[in-house]
Amino acid sequence: MRFLILLAILCAFSSRSAVSAQTADRMVTGSPPGRAGGQIVIALRSDPKTLNPALAADVPSRDIIYCMNADLIHINRETQKTEAGLAKSWSVSRDGRTYTLRLRRGLRFSDGKPFTADDVIFTFRVYLDEKIHSEQRDLLIVGGKPIAVQKIDDHTVRFQLAQPYAAAERLFDGLPILPRHLLENAYNNGAFSKEWSISMPPDQFAGLGPFRLKEYVPGQRIVLERNPYYWKVDGKGNPLPYLSEIVFLFVPSEDAQVIRFQAGDTDILSSFSAQNFAVLAREESAKGYHLRDVGPGLEYNFLFFNLNNLAGKNLPQIAGKQTWFQDARFREAVSAATDREGIVRLVYGGRATPLWGQVTPGNKLWVDGKLPHPARSPEHARELLKSAGFSWKSDGTLIDSKANPVEFSILTSASNAERTKMATIIQDDLSQLGMNVHVVSLDFGAMVDRLLNSFDYEAAIMGLASGDTDPTAEMNVWVSSGGTHLWHLNETKPATPWETEMDRLMNEQLITLNYQKRKRLYDQVQEIVTQNLPVICLASPDILVGAKNRIGNFRPAILDPYALWNVEELYVH
């Protein structure tokens, strides 16, 4: 049986190879031409859990999958706008509900098999399959209905949406196209979730990305080699990618990665702290690497209070404190007393931006420039607390109207030194208002369990970062029924008038196709967040990256993967 399949593959290979590459719709990139050959070494935090794009949730898996796969429409990390990918062009119907994508012709997967509309149809069948539980499925439900995919011919695919969807083009980024010829059997047999586990032999993988799997050594490294069938060429017509190999080493901690980079073992370093940036900067010229501060990314860190409905939870103490937390004046007082500049200086060594709203200045298309940035004012905080019925004992302790002292704890993740440091700064700020605040660091799993399931916490510091600049990526945070509506989960209907308004605005921007109108709607959401403070935004760290001077075309961006988004254009001098 196996022999037969092999034979069939061989036949397919020989007959199709006659259709030569010259008819292929290659994409020409605009970057300066580089030199072919060479190898770069990059550190990853851990072994990837899987190389299956429909199942990957961890950062190392996604980084490698990004290098091995391609999507139909791509978000250019530099311009933050969409550009052609595997789809050469596309058109939208006037009602904004039908997208027709024309695929590039003559493209091949990294195993040499041709790419057609059938692969696209298969891919979307997988992502939309409830049994697969793919991360991408939620994104593909528009207006309560899954997107319908239809093959028009071998190189044309039509997508039908239940309602107009503003960010529809951006959906395609992050949906790698899978090879039907390798995965369909397993999918039909219900064994898809076992496919493309990291331990499978390299010849079982194929993608449309610039690199393909060469070797995996558990616990040590994964090696990708150049995909000879890749579909992009540089301005002079030279095939991309330039590099012949990328080696990913598994280096478990940030400090260890910094040391390896400093020692010259790795060529590119991304996502490290400002303090380590300063350490590395001292030897920048001597060691032959350069560091780049790309500016604020999309991550926003914030403090929030437990506003969950605690009925049936048996947490009387926390329920009692919720009368403070639910008072917007209390939250505003906390916000007014918080020293955001101090956080930027002490936690991030100045390489961050203080935040008052959830959109960072790095998100140029969507940040609300008119948002007020009130300076820190403990006096204003005291006035607010006074007007909310709080008073002070002779020793300075803040008490509420029933004479209970104001005391609560802020939960942070022990593995995140930066957020623990923020909590310590806020603790000191709030102690000046007479609040007795404790900082509690738990391991990440225990913390998430308290935030999402048991609701056994009073306040917490978290950070979120969307993969995309578009507000649609934030739907699950700001819509009251969203799964990341952290301060109050499982709302059956909006608990407050401003949450009702936020639901309306978020749902309306989702179906508004005009950018200006959408921007106005999302600006209003940002204003509601800064006025009502369901989350008290603190700061957004800069994206910091470093690379050896010998790496060409190194153009880091604030969107993930920061340093590797143009991996096909990187080369070695």
Number of neighbours of residue 393 by Cβ within 10 angstroms = 11
Q: What angle do CA 269, 252, 52 make, to 5 degrees?
A: 85
SS3 content of the chain, % helix, strand, coil (to 5): 35, 25, 45
Q: Which residue has the tokens 């529809």?
A: 168
In the complex, the smallest distance separating the C-beta of residue 449 from other proteins, rounded to whole angstroms, is 12
CA distances from 456 to 112, 318, 437 (A): 54, 8, 16
In the complex, the smallest distance separating the C-beta of residue 8 from other proteins, rounded to whole angstroms, is 55
Count of chain residues binding other proteins (CB under 8 A): 37
**Residue with smaller CB distance to other proteins, 290 or 421:** 421
528-557 binders of other proteins (CB under 8 A): none
Can residue 421 be called a binding residue for other proteins (CB under 8 A)? yes
Whole-angstrom Cα Rg for the chain: 26
CA 202 to chain centre: 28
Q: Which of 11, 265, 278, 313 binds other proteins (CB under 8 A)?
A: 278
Nearest to 306 by CA among 411, 459, 412, 454: 459
**Residue 216, phi-psi category: left (phi > 0), alpha (psi -120 to 50), beta (remainder):** beta
DSSP-assigned letters across all residues of 272-301: --HHHHHHHHTTHHHHTEEEEEEEE-S-EE
446-485 binders of other proteins (CB under 8 A): 446, 450, 456-457
**Residue with smaller CB distance to other proteins, 6 or 281:** 281
53-92 binders of other proteins (CB under 8 A): none
Tell me, residue by residue from 239 to 258, as one string, x for binding to other proteins by CB under 8 A and - for no binding.
Answer: ----------------x--x
Can residue 440 be called a binding residue for other proteins (CB under 8 A)? yes
Decide: helix, strand or coil at residue 505.
helix
Tell me, residue by residue from 358 to 397, as one string, x for binding to other proteins by CB under 8 A and - for no binding.
Answer: ----------------------------------------
Q: How far apart are CA 297 and CA 559, in angstroms?
A: 7
Stretch that binds other proteins, among 107-115, 202-210, 274-282, 360-368 (CB under 8 A): 274-282
Can residue 275 be called a binding residue for other proteins (CB under 8 A)? yes
| Burial class of residue 456, CB neighbours in 10 A (0-12, 13-18, 19+) | middle
Can residue 414 be called a binding residue for other proteins (CB under 8 A)? yes
> For residue 265, which amino acid is it?
D
**Residue with smaller CB distance to other proteins, 105 or 290:** 290
In the complex, the smallest distance separating the C-beta of residue 547 from other proteins, rounded to whole angstroms, is 19
Stretch that binds other proteins, among 114-122, 271-279, 485-493, 537-545 (CB under 8 A): 271-279
Stretch that binds other proteins, among 45-53, 432-440, 475-483, 533-541 (CB under 8 A): 432-440
Which residues are CB-neighbours of 180 under 8 A, at least 6 positions away? 118, 119, 122, 123
- CA torsion angle for 235, 549, 243, 545 (degrees, to 10)? -100
In the complex, the smallest distance separating the C-beta of residue 268 from other proteins, rounded to whole angstroms, is 18
Q: Which of 427, 481, 484, 532 binds other proteins (CB under 8 A)?
A: 427
Q: Which of 98, 204, 441, 481 binds other proteins (CB under 8 A)?
A: 441
Return the exposure string of 149-170: e unless at least 16 CB atoms fall within 10 Å of the residue's CB, then b. Answer: beeeeebbbbbebeebbbbbbb
Q: Which tokens belong to 278?
A: 């300063």
Stretch that binds other proteins, among 16-24, 173-181, 408-416, 478-486 (CB under 8 A): 408-416
Number of neighbours of residue 291 by Cβ within 10 angstroms = 17
Tell me, residue by residue from 279 to 308, as one string, x for binding to other proteins by CB under 8 A and - for no binding.
Answer: x-xx--------------------------
321-360 binders of other proteins (CB under 8 A): 339, 342, 345-346, 349-350
**Residue with smaller CB distance to other proteins, 343 or 536:** 343
**Residue with smaller CB distance to other proteins, 252 or 483:** 252
**Residue with smaller CB distance to other proteins, 208 or 539:** 539
Stretch that binds other proteins, among 102-110, 354-362, 385-393, 440-448 (CB under 8 A): 440-448
Q: Which tokens belong to 417?
A: 């030194």
Can residue 430 be called a binding residue for other proteins (CB under 8 A)? no
Stretch that binds other proteins, among 58-66, 172-180, 182-190, 427-435 (CB under 8 A): 427-435
Q: How far apart are CA 89 and CA 101, in angstroms?
A: 6
Cα distance between the two ends of the chain: 49
Give contact residues for other proteins (rule: CB under 8 A): 255, 258-259, 273-276, 278-279, 281-282, 339, 342, 345-346, 349-350, 409, 411, 414, 417, 420-421, 424-425, 427-428, 431, 438-442, 446, 450, 456-457
